Amino acid sequence: MGKPTGFMEHGRELPRRRPVPVRLRDWKEVYEPFDGAAARTQGARCMDCGIPFCHDGCPLGNLIPEWNDLVYRDDWHDAGERLHATNNFPEMTGKLCPAPCEAACVLGITTDPVTIERIELEIAERAWAEGWVTPHAPSAPTGKRVAVVGSGPSGLACAQQLARAGHAVTVFERAERPGGLLRYGIPEFKMEKHVLDRRLAQLREEGVELLCSTSVGVAPGEQRRARHGEQQGLEPGEQRGVGAACAPDVRTVAARQLLRDYDALVLATGSTVPRDLQVPGRDLSGVHYALEYLKPANLVQEGVLERSPIDAHGRHVVIVGGGDTGADCLGTAHRQGAASVVQLEILPEPPRDRGDDHPWPVWPVILRTSAAHEEGGARRWSVSPGALVDDGAGRVGALRGHEVRLTTEGGRTTFEPVAGGEFEIRCDLVLLAMGFTGPERKGVVAELDLDLDARGTVAVGPDWSTNADGVFACGDAARGQSLVVWAIAEGRSAAASVDRWLVGASALPAPLAPGQAAMR
């Protein structure tokens, strides 16, 4: 490395967050600028560890020590080249990824790890500012056509890689605009949408066609059921959630028509079936899935809506689910002016430091406090909702629950109610942020009669192929709910497999080795 003693001379540093009273008055990103000198200092902390475990921690296999060293040497152009060699959208992972690479940093064994994620973001933003991010046109077209269903990170990464290989790629998206959860699930204060839009412009310049307001799969009344050992129908809540919130003038295209019109079909539809809360009072007014709440809030910021139909202003909000989506709801409720917000989590509060049961370099289960938690609201751990109470007018007026104790016996985890742990919380808006159970079984999955695995996700082989000839799947549709970095990695790897299937060989990089898809 350029400065072998850097990790001994400098401590870990991140940009400051804007003051809470200031940032709650707008929807802009919460972090203040981080100057180049500070990033160079942080790059100097990357030690000559010999074996960079950060590579293994990153699903993309990012060349982290290389671009850390280049930043320290003030060679931002080459750092950008090395970064984009493995990551199609580093400015997005630099904002949204929980950084498993940092959990695997060798420096983190005894002290704070290198600020890998922030350096990644600074490199990407410098590349955009300097005009170094340009379209990559293929040397020659192949004459092959590929349809990609879904415009989230996996679909976009797959589409861009295939276009660069010379194939004609069309991305089908049922929502009004492309981006998937990057656009409709991620609030502006985590990633302003101009970050997504400039990357979409690059894809279009590279020849990728983005066709929105288009749903793939025949009408529900004509669909066959998906196979999963035996015939099964739609999951509870499948018709609701983010999938139901698509454009009002959406048109439908049969999946089998795409198989006739295109040489290959890639499913990158995501894991969009929200996990429901099966308690009395679930059907009361004022109870919504998280994405039913987040999407219109984002549409207000984009100028599509004047006001969200689900607004937390002056309301007492309960968020069921303690993960990232719950935190996104929390920050959104703060900016809408909620009277109070309580976030519930069934799991016990994690420790603040890595425990013996999560040794380096595995991902540690520790207490993580987001910018939204810093802004206010209460967090309650080891609690489970039991019922939603009618306010007398058909709306939710309170949530009743009980404290629980986590027990494990014979490898089976259960949550036992704690005696005397009953409680009631006043609320008139309940947001369900308990994760997702897999892709929708209706539409393309049912029409093509695709096999599902034991988890209810689309079953794929080592080359990302499904049981239908010429049909591939990647990202959350095949993996289940996961991270943006995994989505990009799977999209890139699936593109290499599709390219190989179309023309017999591929020069596209595949960060996930053959067989890794089936080993998840």
Show Cβ contacts of residue 178 under 8 Å, excluding neighbours closer than 6 positions: 151, 156, 171, 200, 210, 212
Distance in Å from the first CA to the final CA of the chain: 34
Q: Which pLDDT score is estimated for 1?
A: 66
At 302, give phi and psi (nearest 5°).
-85, -5
Q: What pLDDT sits at residue 3?
A: 87
**Who contacts 445 (Cβ-Cβ below 8 Å, separation ≥6)?**
217, 226, 267, 439, 452, 458
pLDDT attached to residue 229 = 36
pLDDT at 515: 52
Domain 145-273+436-503 top-level CATH class: alpha beta
In this prediction, residue 220 carries a pLDDT of: 47
Q: Collect the ranges in the chain with pLDDT lower than 70.
A: 1, 219-248, 513-520
Give the CA distances from residue 464 to residues 67, 437, 481, 490, in Å, rounded to whole numbers and listed in that order: 30, 20, 17, 9
The reported pLDDT for the residue numbered 410 is 82
Q: What is the pLDDT of residue 409?
A: 84
What does the pLDDT read at residue 411? Answer: 81
Note whether 444 and 216 are within 8 A (CB): yes
DSSP codes of every residue in 215-280: EES--GGGPPPPEESEE--PPTTTTSHHHHSS-TT-EEE-HHHHHHHSSEEEE------BPP--ST
Which helix (H) or strand (E) segment is 342 a member of? Answer: strand 340-344
Q: With CA atoms as reference, report the closest residue to 29 among 137, 186, 253.
A: 186
Q: What CATH number labels 6-129?
A: 1.10.1060.10
Q: What integer pLDDT is reported at residue 513 of this predicted model?
A: 61
Residue 238 is predicted with a pLDDT of 39
> Is 496 within 8 Å of 503 (Cβ atoms)?
no
Q: What is the dihedral of CA 283, 286, 287, 288, to 10 degrees?
A: 120
Asked, colleague to colleague, whether 145-273+436-503 and 287-432 share their fold, the answer is yes
Can you give the residue ranges of every domain in the chain? 6-129, 145-273+436-503, 287-432
By CB atoms closer than 10 A (0-12, 13-18, 19+), residue 384 is middle
Instruction: Give the chain's largest Cα–Cα span.
Output: 71
**pLDDT in the model for residue 215:** 96
Record: fold of 287-432: FAD/NAD(P)-binding domain (3.50.50)
Whole-number pLDDT of residue 302: 93
